[in-house]
């Protein structure tokens, strides 16, 4: 049986890497795709752990050879998911998680319509700015220009939230990790076709609450704060 493809997207600094790292120790049989990028190493990153760091020439060569399932220009650098990440994970009977931006997610969705898509939101623009600043400080330098560029990009990305099946809000980290694990578990339960145990029912319930159609009330204040919806016209 083919594995399940999970996609998580979020504005930069929302805490996606933090959540994905915690998920690694919680969820079995889930592989994490390591993307290819032309951006330089940041902070304590290591080659082949966070990314395969390559030159633009090498990226172009892979593109010409049709090696990418999807690729996109994000903040002036190229990022791509190799097709073989998918085939390798599925051939080992594993599910695969892609951490990619909204452009990449749209490309994958059109090729793999049953992919499970999750959009992670920061609790507010202020908290996102703080997290971006803290991360930059930890990595050595805070560049306000970079932070304001990422904040305005965040709004554009959040505008795409309706394209995703599930919405997570990374307010309390443990809760977001628990919800993410529940989404993975509930998709596995649903596709296994077997009867759900009492414990399964709890996970299914938690995941159900994260479905985009059930998240509107929770995310209204975030959408308003980012200016994605107008408070004057928003439903009450």
Binding site for ligand 5GP (CB under 6 A): 12, 35, 39, 70, 72, 74, 79-81, 99-101, 103-104
Q: Give the footprint of ligand ADP on this chain (CB under 6 A).
A: 10, 12-18, 131, 134-135, 170, 173
Q: How far from the centroid of its chain's Cα atoms is residue 98's Cα?
A: 7
The smaller minimum CB distance to ligand ADP, of residues 44 and 55, is found at 44
CA distance 51 to 81: 10
d(CA 117, CA 166): 6
Closest approach, Cβ 202 to ligand 5GP, in A, equals: 30
Report, in Å, the least distance between residue 194 CB and ligand ADP.
Answer: 34
Least separation in angstroms between residue 112's CB and ligand 5GP is 14
Interaction partner, residue 173 (ligand 5GP, ligand ADP, none; CB < 5-8 Å by kind): ligand ADP
* Contact yes or no for 22/178 (Cβ under 8 A): no
In the bound state with ligand 5GP, the residue whose beta carbon lies nearer, of 105 and 203, is 105
d(CA 173, CA 175): 5
CB of residue 113 to ligand ADP, shortest distance in Å? 26
Residue 39, burial from CB neighbour count under 10 angstroms (0-12, 13-18, 19+) = middle
For residue 31, which phi and psi values (nearest 5 degrees)? -95, 155
From the list ligand ADP, ligand 5GP, none, partner contacted by residue 104 (C-beta under 5 to 8 A by kind): ligand 5GP
């Amino acid at each position: 049986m083919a594995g399940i493809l999970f996609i998580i997207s979020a504005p930069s600094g929302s805490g996606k890497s933090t959540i994905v790292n915690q998920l690694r120790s919680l969820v079995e049989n889930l592989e994490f795709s390591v993307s290819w990028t032309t951006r330089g190493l940041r902070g304590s990153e290591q080659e082949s752990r966070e990314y395969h760091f390559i030159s633009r020439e090498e990226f172009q060569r892979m593109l010409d050879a049709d090696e990418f399932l999807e690729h996109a220009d994000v903040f002036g650098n190229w990022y791509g998911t190799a097709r073989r990440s998918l085939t390798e994970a599925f051939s080992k009977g594993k599910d695969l998680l892609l951490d990619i931006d909204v452009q990449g997610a749209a490309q994958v969705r059109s090729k793999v319509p049953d992919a499970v898509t999750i959009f992670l939101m920061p609790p507010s623009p202020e908290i996102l700015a703080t997290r971006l600043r803290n991360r930059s400080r930890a990595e050595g330098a805070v560049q306000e220009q970079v932070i304001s560029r990422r904040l305005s990009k965040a709004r554009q990305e959040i505008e795409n939230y309706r394209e995703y099946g599930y919405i997570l809000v990374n307010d309390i980290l443990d809760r977001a990790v628990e919800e993410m694990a529940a989404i993975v578990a509930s998709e596995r339960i649903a596709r296994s076709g077997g009867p759900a145990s009492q414990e399964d029912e709890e996970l299914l319930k938690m995941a159900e609450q994260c479905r985009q159609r059930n998240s509107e009330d929770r995310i209204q204040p975030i959408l308003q704060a980012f200016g994605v919806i107008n408070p004057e016209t928003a439903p009450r």
